[in-house]
Structure 1
Amino acid sequence: MGAGHDHSGAVANAAHRHRGRLWAAFALLAALMVVEAVAAFTTGSLALLSDAGHMFTDVLGIGMALAAITATRRAGTDPQRTFGLYRLEVLAALANAVLLGAVAIYVLVEAVRRFGEPPEVLAGPMLVVAVLGLLANIVAFALLRAGSKESINLRGAYLEVLGDLLGSLGVIAAALVITVTDWWWADPLVAVGIGLFILPRTWRLGRAALRILVQAAPEHLQVTAVHDRLAAVPGVAEVHDLHVWTLTSGMEVASAHLTTDPGVDPAGVLAAARAALHEDFSIDHATLQVEPGASAGVCGQTEW
């Protein structure tokens, strides 16, 4: 006897209910990205260019999040996609991390090159555009904050906006230093700071996405603890073929074979096991195979 229920609606809603905020952030940052890119080439500021590049990944990341949400919503009607397209969210987050890392590396390389002979930059326009970028990022940060706690894809966009917000502060500081002292090294120095700030966050986002894609157990769950809890369910003699993984943000999945004691009601064991997974581990999508003790040796356990 086995059981599995579709709890995908709650997961989908975690991203869908923030869709309007995503669109607002997308439009705002796209407009400012164009302004920053044009200003970077006009003023000759590498710090401003790095901020524009970072903002580009913000826009791209939010765009991918919106595309993934749309595709996930439409995929539910296809019977061949038994888990929908929830992994698109994770793939978008991974692509986001790769692009963000590439931008950070480019900025670092270009900044090192400029340290030898820093070019002059137009600090006035650089300061004005950086202030506009800061205001845009503050608004986007507020829009994405709530969703970042529920979705890895939204968390990727949120982290990028957070980094860009701090980057805008750095560009403002560089413009002020150049205006007051004519110390041109402030521009590549701030660019290096932005790049170094981005890289570790990119690594963490990419690592989280890869853990999901390779179907590793969630970091916050100990598989041994799940095993022991299921083994403690009244009537369960043994637990084997246990797997726990993450399908997408907020959707942990489990499967297991439960060998029961003689004369035990399998329906009662199944209900108790599902309740244990829900209450102790917040696992709502579980496929459990309940086996009478006599059939344990022929259940077809898979060796992975």
Structure 2
Amino acid sequence: MATLPEIEAFAHDHVFLGAAHDDNARRTLWVVALTAGMMVVEIVAGYLTGSMALLADGFHMATHAGALGVAAAAYAYAKRHASNRAYSFGTGKVGDLAGFASAMVLGLIALGIGVESILRLFQPITVAFGEATIIAVVGLGVNIASAFLLSGGHHHGHDHHGHEHGHAHGAHGGDNNMRSAYIHVLADALTSVLAIAALLAGRYLGWVWMDPVMGIVGAVVIARWSWSLMRDTASVLLDATDHHVEDEVRELVETPGDARITDLHVWRVGPEAHAAIVSVVSGQGVTGDEIRARLAPVHELAHLTVECR
């Protein structure tokens, strides 16, 4: 009777969280704490001083704190259940699910800002320029600090053994959970900058109409960010093919001329991690191990299944 090889030699896990998962989780928690702290200060100060501007900004910041909290919770959940066998390909896409939810929240925020701005354009209200400007400046400071905390986890790049990639397919390569947190901070910073410009114009030039106009501009920009994030995270959740990785796999397998791919599936299973099922036909007895060796330079492939016919 033939002796079977030890199965331990072929054992592998399905933990596809990304190399920066823990660092990104810590960064996000710091930003949640910073945002929530500022939110509490503004709401308490608003009640004590009777300032509606402070209260409004405090509750507005609460929406961002909630979205950032979802991002932090996603990191924790993905880590805790990374080895849970209930998830066939691990929990690497939990961050994309959180990113999709955050994109929807951003879209609702953009809609709310847009509607309120249009109403104020036709029905102007009295604005306490001095108080509102101070609030906007403080909020901008918090957002700059938050962006600084998150920036290290947002940018990345890769080199692959002679295959250089800038990864223009970034949405399929990077951490969309971190991206969603970063966009929330940028959106809040944008509204603060536009608000400061509008408030100064209103106070010193009498351009009261600038406030709602800047609100509309901010709503349009945030809506575009929201759509981009929603589109990219949805494609990951629906297992859309990353054509850059697919083309590289096809090139490496077929270039020697002794094998052809008859069926190929490539999808993302986590940040910078993809799975692939490759069906190959060859008239020269090319083995699965040879195909695996050819695909070794494709570092994005964290889980590879090869079928030779």
TM-score by length of 2: 0.80
Rounded to whole Å, the distance in 1 between the matches of 2:296 and 2:64 is 40
After TM superposition, give the deviation of residue 90 of structure 1 in Å.
0.8
In the other structure, the counterpart of 1:25 is 31
Task: Work out whether residues 6 and 285 of structure 1, in 8 Å CA contact, stay in contact via their aligned partners in 2.
Answer: no
In the other structure, the counterpart of 2:108 is 102
Higher helix share: 1
Q: Structure 1: where are the runs of 5+ without partners?
A: 297-304
After TM superposition, give the deviation of residue 198 of structure 1 in Å.
0.4
SS, match of residue 277 in structure 1? coil
1:140 maps to 2:146: yes
Q: Structure 2: where are the runs of 5+ without partners?
A: 1-9, 156-173
1:273 maps to 2:294: yes
- Farther-moved stretch of structure 1 (77-86 vs 65-74): 77-86
1:247 maps to 2:279: no
In the other structure, the counterpart of 1:299 is none
In the other structure, the counterpart of 2:201 is 177
In 2 relative to 1, CA 267–186 (structure 1 residues): closer, same or farther, beyond 3 Å?
closer
Task: Work out whether residues 15 and 82 of structure 2, in 8 Å CA contact, stay in contact via their aligned partners in 1.
Answer: no
In 2 relative to 1, CA 183–34 (structure 1 residues): closer, same or farther, beyond 3 Å?
farther
From 104, 117, 127, the counterpart of 2:123 = 117
Query: Which letter maps to 2:255?
Result: A
In 2 relative to 1, CA 267–77 (structure 1 residues): closer, same or farther, beyond 3 Å?
closer
Rounded to whole Å, the distance in 2 between the matches of 1:121 and 1:43 is 12
After TM superposition, give the deviation of residue 84 of structure 1 in Å.
2.2
Rounded to whole Å, the distance in 2 between the matches of 1:80 and 1:157 is 27
Query: Which letter maps to 1:277?
Result: V
Rounded to whole Å, the distance in 1 between the matches of 2:57 and 2:110 is 8
Query: Which letter maps to 1:172?
Result: I
Matches within 5 A, 1:1-304: 5-6=12-13, 8=15, 11-35=17-41, 49=56, 53=60, 55-149=61-155, 150-218=174-242, 221=244, 223-233=246-256, 236-264=258-286, 266=287, 268-278=289-299, 282-289=300-307, 291=308, 296=309
Rounded to whole Å, the distance in 2 between the matches of 1:43 and 1:263 is 78
Task: Work out whether residues 39 and 126 of structure 1, in 8 Å CA contact, stay in contact via their aligned partners in 2.
Answer: no
In 2 relative to 1, CA 255–12 (structure 1 residues): closer, same or farther, beyond 3 Å?
same
SS, match of residue 76 in structure 1? coil
SS, match of residue 146 in structure 1? helix
Rounded to whole Å, the distance in 2 between the matches of 1:26 and 1:131 is 19
Task: Work out whether residues 42 and 57 of structure 2, in 8 Å CA contact, stay in contact via their aligned partners in 1.
Answer: no
Rounded to whole Å, the distance in 1 between the matches of 2:219 and 2:268 is 31
TM-score by length of 1: 0.81
In 2 relative to 1, CA 39–233 (structure 1 residues): closer, same or farther, beyond 3 Å?
farther
* CA deviations over 1:18-76 (Å, ceiling 9, x no partner): 22221111111122234556759965669x957963x4443223211111111111112
Q: Percent identity?
A: 30
- Number of aligned residue pairs: give it: 280
